[in-house]
Amino acid sequence: MAVSDEEIEHVLDLFAGLGPLTTRKMFGGLAIYRDGTIFALLMSDGRTLIKGQGEMQDRFDAMGLERWTYARPGKSPTAMPYWHLPDSALDDADEATELARAALAHL
């Protein structure tokens, strides 16, 4: 299932405070970039994930955000450097933008 135009518009509105963004469709979802750096994903099921590296990993864990993991058949789960955006940020562009700015500072 691919992301809808409405889902793409919503996620770009959430992060509009960052300035110009670019995107790339991949695997039915969308990668979101600022100045050529990927910082968020819109998954094919509509979930929005934000990238965390360095101290942002600890911050996202402390916030209780769920980390994205996946498992291939017969393999152990793999934790990716992305966390689910908190529900509160899905309706608050200021919160989403603040989290994205902090994440980008550590990428």
Q: What is the pLDDT of residues 39-85, one digit of tens each?
A: 999 999 999 999 999 999 999 999 999 999 988 899 999 999 999 99
Domain that holds residue 34: 5-104
Find, among 102, 89, 82, 91, the residue nearest to 18 by Cα.
102
Percentage of residues in the chain having pLDDT higher than 90: 92
Q: Is 96 helix (H, G, I), strand (E, B) or coil?
A: helix
Cα separation values, 85 from 27, 74, 81, 107, Å: 19, 29, 13, 17
* Angstrom distance (rounded) from CA 50 to CA 85: 6
Query: Does the global pTM surpass 0.85?
Result: yes
- Within 10 angstroms of residue 30's Cβ, the number of other Cβ atoms is 21
Decide if pLDDT at 1 tops 80. Answer: no
pLDDT of 27 higher than 90 = no
Q: Is 87 helix (H, G, I), strand (E, B) or coil?
A: helix
Number of domains in the chain: 1
CATH number of the domain to which 59 belongs: 3.30.1460.30
